[in-house]
Structure 1
């Protein structure tokens, strides 16, 4: 983790402007192409949820501002940020939060995700570790082909953790698409950065042979 200091005075003004807003987050939703990944999931018997968590986590970790967090008057940048994602459980109708450490190797990451999901089935958790901000908050709405989304959250103290959600995949001609919502703190992340994230996500999804080994 390192401290970030803006050397560009205009960038600092941009940060201060959005940081002081009552609602500093913005949300973008795209219909992402996951055709090649979905084919690989079906042909290779890959685990769908683990694979989506991996793709989102890898894309987010590749972009520095997705790893940056606001702490009081300071900005820190984590070396890696880790997914805390929602899963259904066997003991309740409501979801559980499920945490795993991010790692770039797909097989090891998926094994960790599936083990974490199994643990949550009988002993669900609803709290992330206090005072940590090196999370990515991920969730899914597998029942909906949504085109927009808002999240319940506290804005004070400053919460600058990105929230990324995917929905029900569907066919559009020969293309398999999935709703993908990206919510970020505007003081840290611009639309250009969200565009970079979405492009990287789709690029990863289009090339499963590069990571599903």
Structure 2
């Protein structure tokens, strides 16, 4: 982790402008193609949920701004940020959070994810680890082909952890498509950075056979 200082006058002004707002977050939702992803997961025995968590986490980690967080008057940048995602529980009809340490190698990540998901199903948690902000908050909504989403979050002080959600996979001609939503803190990033995340996801989706070997 390192501290970030915005030395460019306009970049500093951009940060101060949006950081001073009561609601400094913006959200973008679009449909992404997953045509090549699903058959590979099925043929390789990879759980769709865990596989998507990995691809989304890797796409986000490859954009510097997705690893930056606001701490009071400071901005820090993590080497990696780690997915904290929703999983079903056995004792109730509401979810548990499940945090898995991010690793850029898919096989290592998936092995830990499997163990953590099983644990959280029977021993659910709702709390984040105190003092940590190196998360990506992820949630799957596989029942709904949504076009927008609004997340619960702390506004005072501002919460700068990105929220990323995906929804029901559907057919569009001969393609498989999936709604994918990103909600981020505007002081840390602009639409071009969210666009880079989507480009990364599409690139990784096209390389799925190479990534999940």
**TM score, norm. by length of structure 1:** 0.98
Q: Paired residue for 2:14?
A: 14
Q: Paired residue for 1:27?
A: 27
Q: Paired residue for 2:194?
A: 194
Count of aligned pairs = 213
Q: C-alpha separation between the residues in 2 aligned to 1:29 and 1:210?
A: 27
Q: C-alpha separation between the residues in 2 aligned to 1:30 and 1:81?
A: 23
Q: Paired residue for 1:98?
A: 98
Q: C-alpha separation between the residues in 2 aligned to 1:121 and 1:69?
A: 29
Q: Paired residue for 1:3?
A: 3
Structure 2 matches for 1:4-83, cutoff 5 A?
4-83=4-83
Unaligned runs of 5+ in 2: none
- Asked if structure 2 preserves the Cα contact closer than 8 Å seen for 1:84 and 1:137, the reply is yes
Q: Paired residue for 2:122?
A: 122
Q: Deviations over 1:128-157 (max 9, x none)?
A: 101110000000101000000000111111
Q: Paired residue for 1:209?
A: 209
Q: Deviations over 1:14-61 (max 9, x none)?
A: 000000101000000010101111110122221111101000100111
Q: C-alpha separation between the residues in 1 aligned to 2:168 and 2:60?
A: 21
Q: C-alpha separation between the residues in 2 aligned to 1:36 and 1:206?
A: 7
The SS at the match of 1:165 is strand
Q: C-alpha separation between the residues in 1 aligned to 2:44 and 2:210?
A: 14
Q: Paired residue for 2:155?
A: 155
Alpha-carbon shift at residue 210 of structure 1 (Å): 2.1
Q: C-alpha separation between the residues in 2 aligned to 1:121 and 1:75?
A: 35
The SS at the match of 1:80 is coil
Give the RMSD, CA atoms, in angstroms: 0.7
- Asked if structure 2 preserves the Cα contact closer than 8 Å seen for 1:35 and 1:206, the reply is no
Q: C-alpha separation between the residues in 1 aligned to 2:104 and 2:203?
A: 16
Q: C-alpha separation between the residues in 2 aligned to 1:44 and 1:116?
A: 20
Q: Paired residue for 2:88?
A: 88
Q: C-alpha separation between the residues in 1 aligned to 2:121 and 2:15?
A: 41
Q: C-alpha separation between the residues in 1 aligned to 2:63 and 2:153?
A: 23
Structure 2 matches for 1:131-142, cutoff 5 A?
131-142=131-142
